[in-house]
Structure 1
Amino acid sequence: MQAFAEAKRRLGGGVDGLNAAADDNGGEQEEENGQVGADTAKSLEAFVDGKFMTVVMTLLTIFALWGDNIRVALFDKDADNIFYALFAVALFMFVIEFLINTVAKHDYKWGFFFVCVHPLPSIPTLRPKVSRYSMVSKAQDADQEEKLKAQARAAQNAKQAALKRIEASRLGRALSEQTTRRVIIGVLLMLFMLPLLQSSETNQSFYTGLSQIYWFGRSRCNGSSRNASFGCDGMVQQPGSSWIGEAGWKNMLWMYSRSSFRASYYPTHEGYWEGDPPYKLLWLRAPDYTNGGRLKDIVSIESELGVWNQTASCAGVRPSANCPYRDEEMSTYSYSPIECSSDADPLMYGRLGCGKAVAYARFETKSLQQRSNALDMLSTLFVCILLATLSIQFQNDTQKLVIAPIEKMVNIIKQLAEDPLRRPDVQDSEEPRGCGDEKQALNMTAHPTRKFEDEDSSGRPQLETRMLENTILKIGRLLQVGFGRAGAEIVNKSMNSGDGELNIMMPGRCIFGIFAYVGMRRLATLADMLGQDVTVLMNKVATIVHGCANRWGGVSNQNIDNGFLLVWKLESQHDPQLKQELKSEVVLKRSKTADRALFCGMKMIAELQRLLLRETSAIKGDAPFALTSLQSTIAAVDVGIAFHVGWAIEGPVGSDFKIDATYLGPDITRTLALQDLTKVYDAPILTSSKLYFMASVRTKERFMLVDYVRLGESKVDPHGIYALVLAPTTAAPGRLPSTPVTYKLGSLIKPEDLAEVEDNVFVDEFPEYLSTVDVDVTSLIETRGISGPFADTFRRGFSCFVEGDWERAVTMLSQAGSGTGPASALLRYMESTGNRTPKEWDGWHGIHAIDG
């Protein structure tokens, strides 16, 4: 109806509208027909792949393999028709399955299921037609076979020449070698085992006995007349001239009927002819001694040794259909004189009557066929087990060398797509070299460029799949290191997109968090002194900064100018949908995060001091791995850390040529400006009042208010500046305690009396005690911290400075120590105005005023 409505609407547009409507209607009809066909194909495929059909086809496959052997070995001739019907049913089911799979499954034509023609030769009515077709096909293909052989030889030569120019990969070589070994073992097993599972029995007594019976039976024939030849003329020779007597003849025939007995069956006592022979004599046609040597069927024998009777239904050159034995269960032997051989003279052949001079004997060999078919079933079972074993081995090799590594790679990529910041969990893979080794990163020696790893940890050649897996891990690690948490969304969306295009141009999102900027002072001077080794120094500092930030919940973002930007994300407490108790939990969480962030800054200072002490010791010890130029200037390393809290826009910035995941916003700018003040106040750590008031009381005790500064452009935006005031490293280098053997960079070092308390108690539950428990921080404060009198004098002088009484402020700050950072900064600022309080003094000033 929608199509007709659309056509009616387009009718005002003319014939084109009608044609378009018709096209839409036809398209919808074709789409509907295609959907019906797809549903039918899925239904057929589900039917064939169902449990019932799977069981049925498996049973029919087993029957197709062993059915004919079971028919001969376990059943009589009467059951043949049932088996032939089952063979026809099996063939029909195979054809049905093949047709359904061809229709339902894509690219299934000319596939594996064309082997459903296997049961054809087992059906007697189809066997002659198949054989006749095969002979005609061979005759027609004889001429083409030579051409194909010539083409194959040419193609083989070209292939060998091409293979000589191509070096096999390690994966292909390993897979080929394992496959070759298993194929050789399988072929050898078949060569050794199959002859043992074959029944071969040769009994010459049937033929030799028949030749004796022929001549002994004809010995009574009168051959004196002209037309006697081998057929006898019916005249009997004179008594005493024949070779055997009538009783001996009958005994000879009876013994021939039991000639299938083996020699071990013949005991010496009387009655050894008792019992049935292994192979029963069914029919005998030979010269009859008792009938003048005429060639005829011998129906029965009554001798002194026993009685034998012919099986009438199995007699004749062609047994009747009523014969209880199958054709393959009967063996027919014939004998004719040597004069009647195929190369005899035709005239002589006719004159001797060779056409009638043929003796026949037919024996039943059912037990032999049963034994042969039983061994054939064992052979088939052995081949199936061998092929199944080899198939499993081939599958395991392919799974181990190809499929499993590919699945690992796919799993790695999926993990990176789901969580780009989490290192992929690889169960059975080596850790790629050069990833996350902190000790190696802290080594001052500059490593030369390494070649691509060609060997694994055991020294064996590394397969291409392992090399590719390690490469993917390294690429993923580079993505994590390059983009960081801010770029996690970029990596996630790009890797989860279905197309091959990069989805990097996306809007940012607003986040609220703690921002820290760690800057290196006098980096330009160090670059002039160190040259290219300055990057080694920067990487050492970056390892400490990033390691400590990662340990205490922060995220390393990007390198800005001469420093590193760090972020601690916070939950917003201004969500109107949050309940009051939930808002209290958010406030508590933010306080704990603030404590961890400020403690992280103190830990960085301690780790940098430990680096300084270690490298100074290396200089004194003249360690062979030391870089002299770097060690001689390590004392010039000066780091300032600034903390601020606020909001920023997190997202990608760049173009298709280069992109960075970064944070943009005024609070980022304020953080950078605050870090510049660390040079002015000569303080290692500065924090704004917004973060200071967010921290706990015990963390606040480590900081001191040093100034009020307007960080932004607005005049109503003053910030209190709090500093961790320490003496310069060169003035009071101090000593830090030795680290434990299992110590990790930036970890908490507890005193001995708290060694039994788990780290999580301080890290997660009571982070306000971190700065008072950690041995590094406490040692740092004790060795480089300001004394109590200085702090009191500075606070009184700073109060006078804020209130505008600069004369007293100059006096007190000078008494506090003009060589100390915050006091010297305030004195310089007041000196710039002639130590006179400005007219519009509100207790704070601009950020650039004090720098001047």
Structure 2
Amino acid sequence: MASRKASTLFLFRDSSGIEPRADAYQKQNSEDLDTNIYEQVAKPTFIACPEDIWAPRIEDDNGNAVEEMHVKTQFELYVEGFKRSTVNILDHGVILCVVCVGTFWALFAEDVAHGWPLAKTVDTQIAIVNFCFLIFFVAEQFARSVVQRKDYLFNFFWWMELAANASMILMLGPIMFPEGQYKCAAAIGLSNLDGLTAGSRLARVMRLLRVLRVLRVFNSLHNSCKHRSRVANEKAAKQSAIGKALNEKLVRSMIVVVVALQLIFPLLSFDEKNSARELTLDVLIMGENFSKSEGELYGAAMRGQYLFGGQHKLDLESMTYARNYPTLMKTVISSEALVYIDDQPASTFQGWDGNSYNAADCLSPDADDSFAACPPWIHELRCSELEYFYTEKGVHEAYWEVREQQMAYAQLNIAITIFLMVIILGMYISLSADVTFMVVQPIEGMVGLVRTLAENPNYKLEGQAKCKYETEAVRVALAKIIGLMQLGFGSAGHEIISANLANSDQATLNLMVRGKKMDCVYGFCDIRQFTDTVECLQDQVMLFTNSVGEIVHQSCHDNRGEPNKNIGDAFLIVWRPRSVSDHAKVADGALTAFRRCVREIASSRTLQLVTDVEAIHKKFGRGKYQTKIGFGLHFGWSVEGPVGSPVKVDCSYLSAEVKISDRLEAATKIYSSNILMSGQFYDLLSEHIKVGIRLIDHVTLKNGMKPYRIYADDRSNLWLKMNPRLVRIYGADIAYEQFSKIFHEGMDAFIKGDWPTAQQKLQGARDFCPKDTPTLLLLKEIKKRSIDPSTPTAPVDWKGYHDSDV
């Protein structure tokens, strides 16, 4: 590769429009630069992975392929929007209320119909409503399975919903199996003693699943109310993922425990067998066997006593039987095994309605398994209100009416269901409140804190005195870590803090974010004689440096300044205006802050005590050392962002403009002034702030071509000493005004090239301030560059500024 001559030209390539001056290109010698000034930049060797490469199909052109991708993207967006809308509809308060009403209906409708003397025709109407709610529940579960496939399908709550919906199928009996002519024998025949116990246990579990659906609906309504309150109050923190997960796990654990108790406790309990009906049937059979004739009154009376000991009244030889026990409705012992009536044939029995019925038609073993020929009041009974029983050999069988028992059982079910709901909801609310208060709220608070910091990295955290729980200790530690991070990165690191805290999906830190171009005020300050001071103070130098830094940082912070760099003896402060109209405010604040720094450092009791050591007295002389700091101020553009590598990164401001404030601070040693500022900064100051500031030179910086006006702040100049004689004559204020006026006239003549006038005015200014360094330097420059030794004359190529070593 061809060699290249050294050049001081800096070429910037940036999308923000950072470019060198146009004349800088024109001044370059064509022999120094090749045709392509970037030819030494290596060509990119990036090879895309196959999945990163997209190409249209061969048979289609690019336009068709792009259009196809656009349509596909629109379809995907439509699908996502449809899913969001569906979820919002399913979680709407109206839908949740319908689910709640349907759940309560499924829980209590059947028990209300069976627990009170309602007509049997009500069962069909209730079953129709149950079928409608079942369709609604199935549709809701299917919709959630489609739109919430990842979070809902085949998880624990999906299976619970499926079981709860399946349990409602058992409630559709009046629709699926109409009783018709009351053919209940087959259904009732399945209810032997063991099957009844297992079936009742299964029914309890199915009912429990419907009760637990109330818990899910309650949780959904609770979350919906919280969501509406969050929308109404923007300050409320969003529910975190861990809060949602903990509530779901809590509900899951409660469901598992309650279902397990329902299944296990009956297995551990012992129920004594009720043999009353078996003994009753045995007595009836015995009474029949001991009867000597069909018309024997004794046997008939005994059968009647056992058969009709129920709510219905039967007059038998002036005796009234009314007992609250299950009433035997049908036996197949023989056609005469019921009530004997003295003046009627043996095949005739008396019903509870007072009418006579033929036993052969109603109770004959050869007749159909129905009650078609029985009294009408038997038709009003439900299948569940009949209980079937038979002897061990199957020779004798009987049906018992258990309506009163079923009514009491249904009412008891309602009470148990309400009790379970209260217990489960109470447990859920209590446990959820404890978990939320002790775990979820602290974690959500920390997550909300991170979100707030992602939006406003300069957010100040509130302190906490005591830590009762570990979660509070974690929050305190988080606050300290964030505080240290804010101090470490400073205002320039806000983008890094915001980008990394907002992106929770990325596991590693993303420190190499793109810079941001902005206009700022840059203030650079440096401690004088720092090397000698370090040698004298030794281990006390940290106290000395931090004392100075505290004064500088606090003064600048109070005036909207943002400390950026701490380089031992030097500090970089940045003032970032919010808008163009804010430039004057930040400039006034910057100068005010540095003026305050000069005063407080000169009068700091802490610095006086720290430097009052023998080593300092020996090095500088007793009572002669004084902490002095130089300040430089400039306004210009820079790029704000991270500088460094993943190993170590600093957030700073990069541009040649930032370096000018450093050059101005270094020039304070040359001009013997505490605060120097550029013309760009001076032009932004308010008029009342400009009082006490004077233009002291117009120069180009070292190795630079652009001229800068340099201003000095005499109000904070500890080196400025007025002539005591003139101060006594004019007074301090008037003497300074005369000095400033004469110096300004001399400076103006110097820039215009009228050096004789400039020399005259500057010598007059020297009378007011004999040791004013800017005056002496200008007189020296006139004498040095004058083309006529006898008469001060500006050079022929004088442009109003001169070179300097700044």
Question: Secondary structure at the residue paired with 1:62?
Answer: helix
Find the aligned partners of 2:680 and 2:386 in 1 and give their Cα distance.
108
2:635 matched residue in structure 1: 646
Question: Secondary structure at the residue paired with 1:77?
Answer: coil
Please list the CA deviations of residues 123-170 of structure 1 after superposition, one character each: whole Å capped at 9, or x if unmatched: 5569989x99xx9xx9xxxxxxxxxxxxxxxxxxxxxxxxxxxxxxxx
1:415 matched residue in structure 2: 452
Cα RMSD for the two superposed structures: 6.2
Question: Secondary structure at the residue paired with 2:555?
Answer: helix
Find the aligned partners of 2:61 and 2:474 in 1 and give their Cα distance.
53
Find the aligned partners of 1:56 and 1:315 in 2 and give their Cα distance.
48
Q: Is structure 2 residue 470 aligned with structure 1 residue 462? A: yes
- Are the structure 2 counterparts of residues 19 and 700 from structure 1 closer, same or farther at C-alpha, using a change threshold of 3 Å? closer
Residue identity matched to 1:110? F
Question: Secondary structure at the residue paired with 1:601?
Answer: helix
From 492, 514, 537, the equivalent of 2:544 is 537
From 589, 597, 605, the equivalent of 1:613 is 605
1:120 matched residue in structure 2: 169
Find the aligned partners of 2:450 and 2:574 in 1 and give their Cα distance.
26
| Kept in 2: contact 1:708–1:719 (CA 8 A) | yes
1:70 matched residue in structure 2: 112
From 549, 564, 568, the equivalent of 1:557 is 564
- Are the structure 2 counterparts of residues 543 and 617 from structure 1 closer, same or farther at C-alpha, using a change threshold of 3 Å? closer
| Kept in 1: contact 2:540–2:610 (CA 8 A) | no
Find the aligned partners of 1:33 and 1:568 in 2 and give their Cα distance.
46
Question: Secondary structure at the residue paired with 2:640?
Answer: strand
| Kept in 2: contact 1:689–1:720 (CA 8 A) | yes
Question: Secondary structure at the residue paired with 2:470?
Answer: coil
Question: Secondary structure at the residue paired with 2:463?
Answer: coil
2:381 matched residue in structure 1: 325
Deviation at residue 473 of structure 1 after TM alignment? 4.7
Find the aligned partners of 1:718 and 1:411 in 2 and give their Cα distance.
50
Question: Secondary structure at the residue paired with 1:515?
Answer: strand
Find the aligned partners of 2:69 and 2:113 in 1 and give their Cα distance.
57
Find the aligned partners of 2:793 and 2:659 in 1 and give their Cα distance.
25
- Are the structure 2 counterparts of residues 252 and 481 from structure 1 closer, same or farther at C-alpha, using a change threshold of 3 Å? same
Q: How does 1:269-348 map to 2 (within 5 A)?
A: 273=320, 277=324, 279-283=326-330, 285=333, 300=349, 315=363, 320=370, 322=372, 323-331=379-387
| Kept in 2: contact 1:692–1:722 (CA 8 A) | no
Q: Is structure 2 residue 652 aligned with structure 1 residue 662? A: yes
| Kept in 1: contact 2:527–2:629 (CA 8 A) | yes
Q: How does 1:839-850 map to 2 (within 5 A)?
A: 839=789
Find the aligned partners of 2:498 and 2:765 in 1 and give their Cα distance.
58
- Are the structure 2 counterparts of residues 461 and 634 from structure 1 closer, same or farther at C-alpha, using a change threshold of 3 Å? farther
Greater alpha carbon shift after TM alignment, 526-535 vs 838-847: 838-847
- Are the structure 2 counterparts of residues 549 and 309 from structure 1 closer, same or farther at C-alpha, using a change threshold of 3 Å? farther
Question: Secondary structure at the residue paired with 1:119?
Answer: helix
Question: Secondary structure at the residue paired with 2:115?
Answer: helix
Find the aligned partners of 1:536 and 1:493 in 2 and give their Cα distance.
35
Question: Secondary structure at the residue paired with 1:106?
Answer: coil
Residue identity matched to 1:118? S
1:431 matched residue in structure 2: 463
Question: Secondary structure at the residue paired with 1:518?
Answer: strand
| Kept in 2: contact 1:653–1:661 (CA 8 A) | yes
Residue identity matched to 2:517? R
Residue identity matched to 2:120? K
Please list the CA deviations of residues 563-604 of structure 1 after superposition, one character each: whole Å capped at 9, or x if unmatched: 22223345887xxxxxxxxxxxx4xx6555443332222222
Deviation at residue 371 of structure 1 after TM alignment? 1.4
2:233 matched residue in structure 1: none
Q: How does 1:64-463 map to 2 (within 5 A)?
A: 64-74=106-116, 75-107=118-150, 108-111=152-155, 112=158, 113-115=161-163, 116-124=165-173, 211-212=282-283, 214-216=285-287, 218-221=289-292, 246=297, 252-257=302-307, 259-260=309-310, 273=320, 277=324, 279-283=326-330, 285=333, 300=349, 315=363, 320=370, 322=372, 323-331=379-387, 358=396, 362-397=399-434, 399-400=436-437, 403-405=440-442, 407-420=444-457, 422-423=458-459, 431=463, 457-463=465-471
- Are the structure 2 counterparts of residues 29 and 118 from structure 1 closer, same or farther at C-alpha, using a change threshold of 3 Å? farther
Find the aligned partners of 2:709 and 2:746 in 1 and give their Cα distance.
16
Greater alpha carbon shift after TM alignment, 85-94 vs 638-647: 85-94
- Are the structure 2 counterparts of residues 685 and 49 from structure 1 closer, same or farther at C-alpha, using a change threshold of 3 Å? closer
Find the aligned partners of 1:634 and 1:118 in 2 and give their Cα distance.
97
Calculate percent identity across the aligned residue pairs.
17
Deviation at residue 832 of structure 1 after TM alignment? 11
| Kept in 1: contact 2:762–2:775 (CA 8 A) | no
Please list the CA deviations of residues 643-694 of structure 1 after superposition, one character each: whole Å capped at 9, or x if unmatched: 5343222333635445544334554333222222434555443445665565
Please list the CA deviations of residues 34-90 of structure 1 after superposition, one character each: whole Å capped at 9, or x if unmatched: 769948974877776677765554444333333443342244434444444555555
Find the aligned partners of 2:688 and 2:456 in 1 and give their Cα distance.
36
Question: Secondary structure at the residue paired with 2:427?
Answer: helix
| Kept in 1: contact 2:310–2:322 (CA 8 A) | no
1:514 matched residue in structure 2: 521
Find the aligned partners of 2:136 and 2:525 in 1 and give their Cα distance.
77
Please list the CA deviations of residues 298-319 of structure 1 after superposition, one character each: whole Å capped at 9, or x if unmatched: 863699xx98978979857786
Question: Secondary structure at the residue paired with 1:118?
Answer: helix
Residue identity matched to 1:106? R
2:13 matched residue in structure 1: none
Deviation at residue 282 of structure 1 after TM alignment? 2.7
Deviation at residue 613 of structure 1 after TM alignment? 1.3
Greater alpha carbon shift after TM alignment, 368-377 vs 677-686: 677-686
| Kept in 1: contact 2:388–2:398 (CA 8 A) | yes
Find the aligned partners of 2:294 and 2:782 in 1 and give their Cα distance.
165
Question: Secondary structure at the residue paired with 2:524?
Answer: strand
Q: Is structure 2 residue 697 aligned with structure 1 residue 708? A: yes
Find the aligned partners of 1:492 and 1:355 in 2 and give their Cα distance.
84
Residue identity matched to 1:320? S
Find the aligned partners of 1:698 and 1:55 in 2 and give their Cα distance.
69
Please list the CA deviations of residues 810-834 of structure 1 after superposition, one character each: whole Å capped at 9, or x if unmatched: 898688576xxx46x7669979999
Find the aligned partners of 2:286 and 2:698 in 1 and give their Cα distance.
138
Deviation at residue 325 of structure 1 after TM alignment? 1.8
1:481 matched residue in structure 2: 487
Question: Secondary structure at the residue paired with 2:381?
Answer: coil
Residue identity matched to 1:114? L
| Kept in 2: contact 1:683–1:724 (CA 8 A) | no
Residue identity matched to 1:300? F
Q: Is structure 2 residue 591 aligned with structure 1 residue 598? A: yes
TM-score, with normalisation over the residues of structure 2? Answer: 0.59
Which blocks of at least 5 consecutive residues in structure 1 are unaligned? Answer: 1-15, 139-170, 222-233, 237-244, 266-270, 336-341, 343-353, 433-456, 574-585, 621-631, 732-785
Please list the CA deviations of residues 203-249 of structure 1 after superposition, one character each: whole Å capped at 9, or x if unmatched: 8765555555554554443xxxxxxxxxxxx699xxxxxxxx83x65
| Kept in 2: contact 1:711–1:719 (CA 8 A) | no
Question: Secondary structure at the residue paired with 2:114?
Answer: helix
- Are the structure 2 counterparts of residues 44 and 545 from structure 1 closer, same or farther at C-alpha, using a change threshold of 3 Å? closer
Residue identity matched to 2:530? L
| Kept in 2: contact 1:494–1:504 (CA 8 A) | no
Deviation at residue 707 of structure 1 after TM alignment? 3.7
Greater alpha carbon shift after TM alignment, 640-649 vs 326-335: 326-335
Residue identity matched to 1:423? Y
| Kept in 1: contact 2:565–2:572 (CA 8 A) | yes
